[in-house]
Amino acid sequence: MLSGIPLFPEQASTLAPEVDNLYFFITAVTAFFALLVVVFVTVFAIKYRDRTGTKVGEPIHGSIPLEIGWSLIPFLITMVIFAWATVVFFQIVRAPDQTLEVYSTGKRWMWRFQHIDGKSEINELHVPLGRPVKVVFTSEDVLHSLYVPAFRVKADAIPGRYSSIWFTPTKTGEFHLFCAEYCGTNHSGMIGKVVVMEPNEYQAWLSGDTGLPMAARGEQLFQQLGCVSCHLPDGAGRGPSLLGKFGGQETLGDGTVVAVDDVYVRESILAPQQKLVAGYQPLMPTFQGQVNEEGVMSLIEYIKTLPSTGQPAAAAQARTAPAPAAQGGSR
C-alpha cells in the first residue's frame, strides 16, 4: 500500500544531498536509541510481569556510573549532530560569490519575481541549470516564507527587510514553491513553481517578450524621482556621488563606517536621515510611498552598475541634471 509514497522529496539542488545525508545520519542515530529503549522496555515489561500485583520489585536505587554514562554519551552524540548541522546551515545561508540574482516580493497572496534583465513573472521562477541563483526578497505586508522543498531552502520574508535564499539547481523540471509562513486567508494558495531549464533554453526564455532590464528601470526611476539632480556623478551635488559606491564602505556623520550594501541603499532611499554620509546635510526627503519595493530593488540594481570611475557604462547616464524642481516636489 505504501509503495507509491515517496519518503523524501526530490534532490534538485547541490544543497539537497547535504541536507539529506544529515537527515539520514540523525534518523539512524535516533532510530538506534529508540529501538534500544523500546526493546528494553518490552523485555522488562514481559520478563518481570507480575499478574498478581502482590510481589515486590528489587529495591535498586540507582547507579552513578550509569547516570554519568547515559548523560555523557547522548551529550557527545548530540554535539556531533550539532557540529554537522551547523556546517550544513552555513552552507545554506552563505551564498557563493558569483550568483545569478533574482529579486522577489511576496504579498498576499502571490510571489512576484523580477529578473535583472527585465523579465518579471508571478508565482513562477525560471532559473538555469547548474548556476548558483540567489533570490533576494522582501514582503510588502505580512510575514511570508519562500520555500522550495526540492532545494531544501527556506527563509522568511519580513516587511522592512531583505532575506535571501540561494541554490544551484541540479535537475531540470518543475518544482514546488510554497509560502511556509502563515499569511492569512489564501496562505495555501500562495504557491508556485520553480522551472529549472537547460542554460540555452533559459537564455531563449529570457530573450522572449521581455521588459526593461532592472538596471534600466532603476535608471528611469533615478531620473523621474529627481535623484540625479543631487547625486551628481562628479560628487559636486548636494548629495554624494554614487559612482562605485556599491560594495564599498561609507563613513557617516558620527564617524561610524557602514558597508554600502542593498540594505543600506534601501534605507537611504526610504529613511535618508538615519545614516547620513559625513559632510552632507540632511536635505534628502524620504521616498517612502513614492517608490515600491520593486522600484527600490531596481534602483539598487542600477546603483550596482555604476562603475567606480569615469562615465557610467549605461549609455545614457551622463545627462545633465533635469530641472531641480523635480526634486523639490518630492516630499
Pick out residues in 3-62 that bind another protein (CB under 8 A). Answer: 4-9, 18-19, 22-23, 26, 29-30, 33-34, 37-38, 40-41, 44-45, 48-62
Candidates 110, 206, 230, 270: give the one binding another protein (CB under 8 A).
270
Residue 175 vs residues 9, 10, 124, 149: alpha-carbon distances, Å: 10, 9, 10, 8
What whole-number distance in Å separates Cα of residue 266 and Cα of residue 50?
73
The CA-based diameter of the chain, rounded to the nearest angstrom, is 101
Q: CB neighbours of 135 closer than 8 A, spacing ≥ 6?
A: 101, 102, 103, 104, 113, 125, 146, 164, 165, 166
Q: CB–CB of 117/211 below 8 Å?
A: no
Candidates 147, 167, 202, 222: give the one binding another protein (CB under 8 A).
147
Q: How far is the CB of 277 from another protein (least distance, A)?
A: 15
Q: How far is the CB of 289 from another protein (least distance, A)?
A: 5
Q: Which helix (H) or strand (E) holds 71?
A: helix 64-93
Contact between 95 and another protein per CB under 8 A: yes
Contact between 250 and another protein per CB under 8 A: no
Candidates 65, 255, 289, 329: give the one binding another protein (CB under 8 A).
289
User: Sheet containing 120-122: which strands, arranged edge to edge?
Assistant: 120-122, 110-115, 100-107, 133-139, 163-167
* Omega of the bond leading into 109 within 30 degrees of 0 (cis): yes
Q: How far is the CB of 200 from another protein (least distance, A)?
A: 25
Candidates 28, 75, 236, 320: give the one binding another protein (CB under 8 A).
75
Candidates 13, 164, 168, 229: give the one binding another protein (CB under 8 A).
164
Q: How far is the CB of 161 from another protein (least distance, A)?
A: 6
Report the residue number, 178 or 202, with the smaller CB distance to another protein.
Answer: 178
Q: How far is the CB of 205 from another protein (least distance, A)?
A: 18
Interface residues for another protein in 105-144 (CB under 8 A)? 107-108, 118, 134, 136, 140-143
Q: CB neighbours of 134 closer than 8 A, spacing ≥ 6?
A: 95, 99, 100, 101, 102, 164, 165, 166
What whole-number distance in Å separates Cα of residue 228 and Cα of residue 237?
9
Contact between 317 and another protein per CB under 8 A: no
Cell of residue 145, nine digits: 516564507
Contact between 277 and another protein per CB under 8 A: no
**Is the torsion defined by CA of 284, 290, 293, 295 positive or negative?**
negative
Look up cell 557540529; give the residue.
83
Q: How far is the CB of 89 from another protein (least distance, A)?
A: 3
Site string for another protein, 198-227 (x = CB under 8 A): -------------xx----x--xx--x---
User: Could you report how far apart the first and last alpha carbons of the chain are, in Å?
Assistant: 66
Look up cell 526564455; give the residue.
205
Contact between 161 and another protein per CB under 8 A: yes
Contact between 290 and another protein per CB under 8 A: yes
Report the residue number, 20 or 201, with the smaller CB distance to another protein.
Answer: 20
Report the residue number, 168 or 298, with the smaller CB distance to another protein.
Answer: 298
> Other CB atoms closer than 10 Å to residue 134's CB: what's the count?
16
Report the residue number, 63 or 311, with the smaller CB distance to another protein.
Answer: 63
How many residues contact another protein, by CB under 8 A? Answer: 132
Strand partners, 138: 105
Contact between 251 and another protein per CB under 8 A: no
